[in-house]
Amino acid sequence: MIANGLSKYQGKNILMLQGPVGPFFRRLSYDLKRAGANVHKVNFNGGDWFFYPTDCVAFTESHKEWPEFLEKLIKEKQIDSILLFGDCRRMHRVSCRIAERLKIEVGVFEEGYVRPDYLTLDMGGVNGHSSLPKDPEFYMNRSKMKVESALPVGQTIHLSSLYSVLYYTACIFLHSFFPKYTHHRPLKFFEALPFIRSFFRKKLYAFQERHIENELVTQHSKNFFLVPLQVYNDSQIIVHSNYHSNIHFIEEVITSFAENAPRETILVIKHHPMDRGHSDYRKLISEIAAKNNLSEDRWRYIHDQHLPTLLNHARGVVLVNSTVGLQAIHHSAPLKVCGKAIYDIEGLTYQGTLTNFWYGATHFTVNRELYERYREYVVTHTQLNGSIYKPLEVKNSVAGLVWPDQNREEIFAPEPLEIGNASQIKVS
């Protein structure tokens, strides 16, 4: 629980594992130390080290040696709490199991459940591994909580892109220091190509699809179903659903829509913006639609349209498990979840089958009181106002996060990022 604020870490021994790309964990360590915590850090590759070069130890063995290494480190440093980013990475899955056995608290950071202006710190696990209650009565029986308005973070795409380039470049150039490390994504120079391709595709799609949003909100308002896709290798697909990939999900949705949806409705499949440079599903969608006798005038494949506008005009939304889900609920759009989502709760989402959703969406209404209470609980128990990439201007916070026990009215001066020499890497 984060409701106790940063002060809960006073006098605690904290172990940081792999963080997000960028200096976020380094900045957070300053805040933890200022709060009275003892902070230890393990680096697994050159990118980890690049952004956290001092007061750390490098794990240079294979994943098979990790459990023994971690347990030894926990005992030596008398670790009270482990912090990590994403709980589906191989090392982190093992770490969570060991921590559970040793009764050590694990705080998992992720991009925010509630966006924009928040990031997630869920104790024990995130998304499908979260311990957030799924019983609507739990939220309805609680007293209402006051939630402060979030300080705006603003755009972070340029910083996240820069940090990604630096991180993966360091991983490649410093691979000799971490020869047995296997990343959860490819670590090759050609991986920069999708980012370049994404830039040009964004321009192309903006031109090609310049009339689609207006068409949807005028000619097809309340007559289209929106299907937001996940990133092709997202853990929401690979771990937190029964689908093998986006392809499997797309095939199921199109087939079900073609067989069961009202004739006046159309299917709008929206590509994930972070997947723009990696995947293109137009040919696949066209083939599946033709196979199911779904004419071209009954489906659209879109990319960068304004999501809140689409949600306000959609008859319903179908997705695996995305932060778009909470946005859909916020906009009172009937929602069918096909994966494991923290917000898939009776009263918030459609609980029937996908087959029945196409007609049932018009009869479903979001319980607004339940949603407000649910959102209040999620924000106060799992969300921190701030960003992984861009610090807010908060006094005494190098990470730029607003904790419940912090004063957010004043400006802070961020400390410089430390970049070390490769010869300084401390090896286990």
Same domain? 217 vs 344: yes
Determine the pLDDT at residue 187: 59
Determine the pLDDT at residue 1: 56
Q: What phi-psi label fits residue 124: left (phi over 0), alpha (psi between -120 and 50 degrees) or beta?
A: left
Same domain? 273 vs 142: no
Distance (Å, whole) CA 162 – CA 399: 18
Determine the pLDDT at residue 422: 45
In the three-class reduction of DSSP (H, G, I as helix; E, B as strand; rest coil), residue 189 is classed as: helix
Residue 226 belongs to some domain of the structure = yes
Same domain? 339 vs 389: no
* Beta carbons within 10 angstroms of residue 309's beta carbon: 14
Provide the angle, in degrees to the nearest 10, between the axes of the packed helices 282-291 and 246-260: 40
Residue 224 belongs to some domain of the structure = yes
Same domain? 347 vs 219: yes
Residue 151 belongs to some domain of the structure = yes
Residues present in the chain in total: 428
Domain span at residue 402 reads 6-167+382-415
Maximum Cα–Cα distance for the chain, whole Å?
66
Determine the pLDDT at residue 189: 57
Same domain? 337 vs 235: yes
Same domain? 343 vs 400: no
Determine the pLDDT at residue 10: 94
Output the domain CATH number for residue 115. 3.40.50.720
With a CB cutoff of 8 Å and minimum separation 6, the contacts of 394 are 151, 386, 400, 401, 402, 406, 407, 408, 410, 411, 412
Residue ending a domain, choose from 341, 374, 407: 374
Determine the pLDDT at residue 244: 86
**Residue found by looking up tokens 């097809």 in the block:** 220
Same domain? 120 vs 145: yes
Residue 182 belongs to some domain of the structure = no
Same domain? 344 vs 245: yes
Determine the pLDDT at residue 406: 62
Q: For 166, phi and psi rounded to 5 degrees?
A: -65, -45
Output the domain CATH number for residue 295. 3.40.50
Same domain? 89 vs 232: no
Q: Among 306, 231, 220, which residue's Cα sits nearest to residue 271? A: 231
Same domain? 278 vs 370: yes
Determine the pLDDT at residue 276: 83
Helix and strand numbers, DSSP H then E, in the chain: 15, 12
Residue 219 belongs to some domain of the structure = yes
Amino acid identity of residue 359, one-letter, is Y
The stretches of 85-182 forming alpha helices (DSSP H) are 90-101, 136-140, 157-173
Residue 172 belongs to some domain of the structure = no
Same domain? 311 vs 289: yes
pLDDT tens track of the chain, all 428 residues? 576 688 889 999 999 999 999 999 999 999 999 999 999 999 999 999 999 999 999 999 999 999 999 999 999 999 999 999 999 889 999 999 999 999 999 999 999 899 889 999 999 999 888 999 999 999 999 988 788 889 999 999 889 888 988 998 999 999 999 999 887 666 565 566 777 788 888 888 889 989 999 999 999 999 999 999 988 777 777 777 888 889 999 999 999 999 999 999 999 999 988 788 888 999 999 999 999 999 999 999 999 999 999 999 999 999 998 889 999 999 999 999 999 899 999 999 999 999 999 999 999 999 999 999 999 999 999 999 999 999 999 888 999 999 876 654 544 444 444 545 444 444 44
DSSP state string for 405-425: TS--SS---PPPPP---GGGP
Tokens of 337: 């979840």
Same domain? 151 vs 57: yes
Evaluate the CA torsion angle 116, 250, 334, 138 in order and state its sign.
Answer: negative
Q: Among 254, 218, 222, which residue's Cα sits nearest to residue 334? A: 222
Determine the pLDDT at residue 389: 96
Residue 425 belongs to some domain of the structure = no
In the three-class reduction of DSSP (H, G, I as helix; E, B as strand; rest coil), residue 258 is classed as: helix
Domain count, the chain: 2
Tokens of 261: 């949806």
Residue 49 belongs to some domain of the structure = yes
